[in-house]
Each structure stands twice: as C-alpha cells, then as structure tokens.
Structure 1
Amino acid sequence: MTADVAVLGVGMHPWGKWGHGFVRYGVTAARAALADAGVEWRDVGSIVGADTVRGGYPGHVAGATFAKALGWQGARVTSVYAACASGAQAIGAARAQILAGLADVVLVVGADAAPKGFFRPAGGERPDDPDWLRFRLLGATNPTYFGLYARRRMAVHGDTLEDFAQVKVKNAAMGALNPYARYRKRVTAEEVAASAPVADPLRLLDICATSDGGAAVVLSSLEFARRHGAARPVRVRAVSTVTPRFPNTVLDLPDIATDSAAAVAPAEVTFRASIARAAYEEAGIGPGDLSLAEVYDLTTALELQWYEDLGLCGEGEAAKLLREGATAPGGRIPVNTSGGLASFGEAVPAQALAQVCELTWQLRGRAGGRQVPGARVGITANQGLFGHGSSVVAVV
C-alpha cells in the first residue's frame, strides 16, 4: 500500500503584526485551504491543530479551538505540540489517520500571535525547560546562541559576514514576490552590513523576526482525490519526525542546554542531518532528486548549515554552494523560494505548514514570479526544542 496522501488544498493568512488572536489567523488560512481544495468544512472527517503555548488555554487545544471556530460538525479532533516542528508533526498525525482509514479528508491548521522581541520561555519558573535554563544559567537568549553558532561556522568552515549577508539578499528577493510574506522589500548586502549588531557576528537583518500568521493544509486519501477530480495531485511522500540517537547523534549547537552528550566523541551524523536522512529513506529519494528545499532559516548562518545537513553539498561547502548561485532562483537547487523566515518571521505553529504550502504551489506550477521551472520534488526541514525535528517530502 502506498504511504502517499494527496495535498488537496493549501491556504495562508499573511504574516505580520496584526494585533489579533491566533484563532482569526488560523480560521482565515483554513477557509482558504478548503476553498483551494474545493471541499466544504462539513465534509472534513478530522481536524488537526498545531498548538501555540502563547495562545492561552485555547492554544493548548488548538484542534478543538479551530473546530469550534469553524463550526462544530462532528469531526475527529487532534492537537499537536512540537515547538517549531508542530506543523509538520500535525501533518504526520493527519497522514496516519488517512492511511489508517479513520478519515478521507483531514484539515491541518497552525497559527500564532507572537510577542514582540525574542521568544521567552512560557509559564514562569520552569527549571525543567531547557530554554529557561539557558536563559537563567547561561544568559544565552536566542540571539546569543545564534551568534555562537554563526561564529562557529566562521571558525570551522571559513564562512564570512559577506556570505551571511548574501543569504538574506537571496531570501529577501524571493519574499518581495510573495504576497503572504511580512517583509516584501529587497535588501542589499550593504544594508545587511549596516544593520544594527545584535549578537556578534550577526546583525539585525541576519536574524528573523517574530510574527503573527497562519497556514493550513487539506490532506486526503489518493482515492478521494481521484474521486474529487484531482488526477495528479501533489502528494506527501514522507514525514520525518525522528529523535536523536544517542550517542551516534547528539543535539547540535545552538541547543546548548539540551546537549547532554557533549562529552562523547563527535557525532557520526548531526541531528538535523538525521532528520533529512530519514525523510530521504522513507521517500526513496536522495538530495540529487530535489527540485527545491524550504529550510528553517532562523538566521542566515543556520540556512547555510541546512545545505550541508540536507546533503546539498559536503561539510563545510555551504558558502561555496551559495556563492555559485546554486541555491538561488535558476540555480541547481533553489532554497527558500518563499522568502523563508527571513521574509516571514516566526509564527511557530504555522511555519512548517507554510513550508508545505510553498512546496505545493511550486509543484503545481503556481508560484508566480518565484516559480522553479519543472519542479517535481521538494523537501522541508526544521528543528524544534527537545529533539523535535521534522522534514516533509512532497512530490508530483
């Protein structure tokens, strides 16, 4: 039996700072995805919500919250939390329900209304939370460990500030073409260099913002898709949500406080690379089969690391790949054609879903000025706290 499920529809609420609750953004995205799929909410057999810890109690039961907002109609409900990987794990849960025969059509929704500034650990004193420990014991806010990671790449691989700036230039050019992006303005390398220092060596334009936004995906069985008239739909072929394998895989910097294996020998494969490897194995493909990739660019330096972890190049060769233009539009493997988090900012439960939205538009050939000609296979990748990583492979 094939493990593929069809992507019938996708939808988003534009990213920004809109001043509303997360439910509004999720409902807007859900209705757009349903309209794109050509199905009614009453025909959905299950809804999976990606949780937000910043939305109060409704955010912790996002599936039920969105079901209520759309209008209770008896659908099965699931809520998923996996930090930045929540959206992809929600897709994994939806896919499992479809393959198990529990539902023909599943709606997956994620949305957030993020606070201004860097994310703080939610819920007060939390000594069991690695974020809380990192903040309180090390004084290492998110920008601090982003800077440490960038400095490490410079020391180990010879990456430069100019390389980091070119990642932002590339992604901003794509974001300028994306109607859902928060930042729709091209930038120059000189503007990146002139932006305010945040955590050496990173400048303000090297680091993504926090945003409001929402995204949704309608999945179905292939049989339902064919009955519905979708003869050749985009298909989810793999969803990787693997955890690290001790001691062969250790959590990488910047997960400073969660790296319990720091004293062991160097990892055979990094955690992020293991996420991608599992996706490739499940999908029966390799890096050479990809048409494009959407990766978790919290910073410009982290995007370069993903090039290596996805196998797009060898270790230490990411900056060279970037300089050659391979990851830019028209290159061998365009990365972050959506504009990435550099153009969107973080709306945590929605971002992995937004990546799948971009793959879907690209594989349908409907990405407008961002279109990768002849796109057939795409991959997403992101990493959350506590070993919550994810990767989704979509094909057409």
Structure 2
Amino acid sequence: MTADVAVLGVGMHPWGKWGRGFVEYGTAAARAALADAGLGWPDVGSVVGAGTVRGGYPGYVAGATFAKALGWQGARVASVYAACASGAQAIATARAQILAGLADVVLVVGADAAPKGFFRPAGGDRPDDPDWLRFRLLGATNPAYFGLYARRRMAVHGDTPEDFALVKVKNAASGALNPYARYRRRVTAEEVAASAVVSDPLRLLDICATSDGGAALVLSSLDFARRHGAARPARIRAVSTVTPRFPNTVLDLPDIATDSAVAVAPPDETFRASIARAAYEEAGIGPEDLSLAEVYDLSTALELQWYEDLGLCGAGGGAKLLREGATAPGGRIPVNSSGGLASFGEAVPAQAIAQVCELAWQLRGTAGDRQVAGARVGITANQGLFGHGSSVVVVR
C-alpha cells in the first residue's frame, strides 16, 4: 500500500503584524485551502490543529478551536504541539488518519499571533527542560545561540559575515515576489552590514522576525483525489518527526561543549542531519533527487547549516554552494523560493505547514514569478525545541 497522501488544497493568511487573533488567521487560511481544493467545509472528516501556546486555552486545543470557528459539523479533531515542528506533527497526524482509513479528507491548520520582539520562553520555569536551562544557565537566548552557531561556522569552516548577508539577499529577492510574505523588498549586502548588531556576528537583518500568520492544507487519500478529479495532485510521500540520539542532550547546542564535557563519543551525524536522513529513507530518495528545498532560516548562518545537513553539499561546503548560486532561483537546488523566514518572520505553528504550501505551488507549476522550472520533488526542514524533528517530502 502506498504511503502517499494527496495535497488537494493549500491556503495562507498573509504574514505581518495585524493585531488580531490567531483564530482569524487560521480560519482564513483554512477557507482558502478548501476553496483551492474545490471542497466545502462539510466534506472534511477531520481537523488537525497545530497548537498555539501563546494563544491561551483556545491555542492548546487548536483543532477544536478551528472546527468551532468554521462551524461545528461533527468532524474528528486533534491538536498537536511540538514548538517549531508543530505543523509537521499536524501533517503526520493527518496523514496517519488518512492511511488508517479514519478519514478521506483532513484539514490541517496552524496560525499564530506573535508577541512583539523575540520569543520569551513559554510555560513558566522548566528546570527539567534542556532548552530552559540553556536560557537560564547559559544566558543563551535564541539570538545568542544563533550567534554562537555563526561564530562556530566562521571558526571551523571559514564562513564570513559577507556569506551570511548573501543568504538574506537571496531570500529577500524571492520574498519580494511572494504575496503572502511580510517583507516584500529586496535588500543589498550593504544594508545587511549596516543593520544593528543583535548577537555578534549576526545583525538585525540576519535574524528572522516574529510575525502573525496562518497556513492550511487539505489532505486526502489518493482514491478520494481521483474521485474528485485530481488526476496528478502533489503528494506527501514522507514525514520525519524524529528525536535526537544520545549523547545530544543539550538539544540546541550540540557541538559547542568543551572536550572535557563530552563523556562519550559524539554521534556520527547531527540531529538535523538525522531528520533529513529519516525523510529521505522513508521517501526512497536522496539529495540528488531534489528540485528545491524549504528550510527554517531562523538566522542566515543556520540556513547554510541546513544545506549540509540536507546533504546538498559536504560539511563546510554551505557557503561555497551559496556563492556559486546553486541555492538561488535558477540554481541547481533552489532553497527558500518562498522567501523563507527572512521574508515571513516566524509564526510558529504555521511555518512548517507554510513550507508545504510553497512546495505544493512549486510542484503544481503555479508559483508565478517564483517558479522553479521543472520542479518534481521538494523537501522541507526545521526542528522544534525539546528535540522535535520536522521534514516533509512532497512529490509530483
């Protein structure tokens, strides 16, 4: 039995700072996805909501929240939370329901109304959480650890701030073409270099913002898609939600500890590389089969790291790949044709879903001026706090 499910519809609410509630954004994205699929809300057998921890109780029960907002009609509901990987886990839940025969059509929705500034830790004191310990004991908030990763790349691989700036330049150029992006203006390397230092060597334009936004997918069985007249829809072929392997216990700082702090040999691959490997193995493909990729560019330096963890190049080869134009539009493997977080900002529960929206548009050939010629296979990648993997392979 095939493990593919069809992507019948995709929809988004534009990213920005709109000053309204997450339910409005998610409901708008859901209705857009249903219209794209040519289906009505009564056709949906299940709703899976990606949790919004900053949205109070309605955010914790996001599936039911969106079902209520659309109008109770008896659908199954599920709500999942996995930090930045919430959208991928929602997709995995929906896919499992379809493959198990529990529903023919599942609506996946994620949305957020983000607070101003960088994210604060949510949920109070968490002394058993390595990420909370990173915040409190090391003083390594997310921008600080982005800077540590950037410094490590400079020391180990010879990357430069100029390389990091080129990532922003590339993604801003794509985002300028995306009607759903928050920032729709091209930038120059000089503008990146002139922006304020946030966490040396990273500047303001090297780090993504926090945003409001929403994204939704209508997924179905292949049989339903054929009956519905969708002869060759984009299909989700793999979803990776793996966790780290010991001794990666300080989840977001796996390579920065001193030698004396390492009690056992490190694993053969990084956590991010294991996320991608699991997706490739399930889909039966390799990096050489990809047409494009959407990765979580929380910072410009982290995008370069994803090139290597996805196997697009060898260790330390990310900056060279970028300089050669391989990851730019028209290159061998365009990365973040949507504009990435550099152009959208981060709406946590929605972003992994938005990545699949972009792949679906690209594989359909309907991405307009952002279109990657001949796109056939795409992959998404990000990771959530507390060891949540997130990667989705979409094929046509």
Please indicate the TM-score interval, normalised by the length of the shorter structure: over 0.9
Amino acid at match of 1:205: L
Structure 2 matches for 1:64-143, cutoff 5 A?
64-143=64-143
Report how far residue 143 of structure 1 moved.
0.8
Structure 2 matches for 1:314-325, cutoff 5 A?
314-325=314-325
Report how far residue 247 of structure 1 moved.
4.0
Q: Which SS does the other structure have where 2:102 is aligned?
A: coil
How many equivalent pairs are there?
A: 393
Report how far residue 140 of structure 1 moved.
1.6
Report how far residue 160 of structure 1 moved.
0.4
Report how far residue 254 of structure 1 moved.
6.8
Of 66-75 and 120-129, the range deviating more from structure 2: 120-129
Given that residues 148 and 254 in structure 1 are in contact (C-alpha distance below 8 angstroms), is that contact kept between their aligned partners in structure 2? no
| Corresponding position of 1:28 | 28
Report how far residue 130 of structure 1 moved.
3.3
Structure 2 matches for 1:249-264, cutoff 5 A?
251-253=251-253, 262-264=262-264
Q: Which SS does the other structure have where 2:302 is aligned?
A: helix
How big is each residue's C-alpha offset from its partner over 1:248-302, in whole Å with a ceiling of 9 and x where there is no partner?
8984527989xxx943223201100000000000000000000000000000000
Structure 1 residues without counterparts, runs of 5 or longer: none
Report how far residue 174 of structure 1 moved.
0.2
Structure 2 matches for 1:165-244, cutoff 5 A?
165-244=165-244
Structure 2 matches for 1:41-52, cutoff 5 A?
41-52=41-52
Q: Which SS does the other structure have where 1:55 is aligned?
A: helix
| Corresponding position of 1:296 | 296
Given that residues 5 and 236 in structure 1 are in contact (C-alpha distance below 8 angstroms), is that contact kept between their aligned partners in structure 2? yes
Of 52-61 and 137-146, the range deviating more from structure 2: 137-146
| Corresponding position of 1:164 | 164
Q: Could you tell me how far apart the structure 1 residues matched to 2:376 and 2:81 are? A: 30
| Corresponding position of 1:12 | 12
Structure 2 residues without counterparts, runs of 5 or longer: none
Q: Which SS does the other structure have where 1:72 is aligned?
A: coil
| Corresponding position of 1:37 | 37
Q: Which SS does the other structure have where 1:352 is aligned?
A: helix
Q: Relative to 1, partners in 2 of residues 1:136 and 1:253: Cα closer, same or farther, differing over 3 Å?
A: closer
1:359 aligns with 2:392: no
TM-score, structure 2 length as denominator? 0.97
Given that residues 134 and 256 in structure 1 are in contact (C-alpha distance below 8 angstroms), is that contact kept between their aligned partners in structure 2? no
| Corresponding position of 2:62 | 62
| Corresponding position of 2:392 | 392
Of 125-134 and 95-104, the range deviating more from structure 2: 125-134
Q: Could you tell me how far apart the structure 1 residues matched to 2:209 and 2:378 are? A: 25
Q: Relative to 1, partners in 2 of residues 1:197 and 1:300: Cα closer, same or farther, differing over 3 Å?
A: same
Q: Could you tell me how far apart the structure 1 residues matched to 2:250 and 2:225 are? A: 40
Q: Could you tell me how far apart the structure 2 residues matched to 1:351 and 1:367 are? A: 18
Q: Could you tell me how far apart the structure 2 residues matched to 1:329 and 1:168 are? A: 14
Given that residues 250 and 270 in structure 1 are in contact (C-alpha distance below 8 angstroms), is that contact kept between their aligned partners in structure 2? no
Given that residues 130 and 251 in structure 2 are in contact (C-alpha distance below 8 angstroms), is that contact kept between their aligned partners in structure 1? no
Q: Could you tell me how far apart the structure 2 residues matched to 1:176 and 1:242 are? A: 33
1:277 aligns with 2:245: no
Of 266-275 and 244-253, the range deviating more from structure 2: 244-253
Q: Could you tell me how far apart the structure 1 residues matched to 2:331 and 2:34 are? A: 33
Q: Could you tell me how far apart the structure 1 residues matched to 2:322 and 2:26 are? A: 35
Q: Relative to 1, partners in 2 of residues 1:80 and 1:256: Cα closer, same or farther, differing over 3 Å?
A: farther
Amino acid at match of 2:310: L
Amino acid at match of 1:294: E
Q: Relative to 1, partners in 2 of residues 1:154 and 1:209: Cα closer, same or farther, differing over 3 Å?
A: same
Of 132-141 and 291-300, the range deviating more from structure 2: 132-141
Q: Which SS does the other structure have where 1:278 is aligned?
A: helix
Q: Relative to 1, partners in 2 of residues 1:125 and 1:170: Cα closer, same or farther, differing over 3 Å?
A: same
Q: Relative to 1, partners in 2 of residues 1:250 and 1:196: Cα closer, same or farther, differing over 3 Å?
A: closer
Amino acid at match of 2:28: T
Q: Which SS does the other structure have where 1:84 is aligned?
A: coil
Q: Could you tell me how far apart the structure 2 residues matched to 1:347 and 1:252 are? A: 20
Q: Could you tell me how far apart the structure 1 residues matched to 2:193 and 2:318 are? A: 20
Given that residues 106 and 219 in structure 1 are in contact (C-alpha distance below 8 angstroms), is that contact kept between their aligned partners in structure 2? yes
Q: Relative to 1, partners in 2 of residues 1:371 and 1:225: Cα closer, same or farther, differing over 3 Å?
A: same
Given that residues 51 and 61 in structure 1 are in contact (C-alpha distance below 8 angstroms), is that contact kept between their aligned partners in structure 2? yes
Computed over aligned residues only, the root mean square deviation of the Cα atoms, in angstroms, reads 1.5
Q: Could you tell me how far apart the structure 1 residues matched to 2:256 and 2:209 are? A: 21
TM-score, structure 1 length as denominator? 0.97
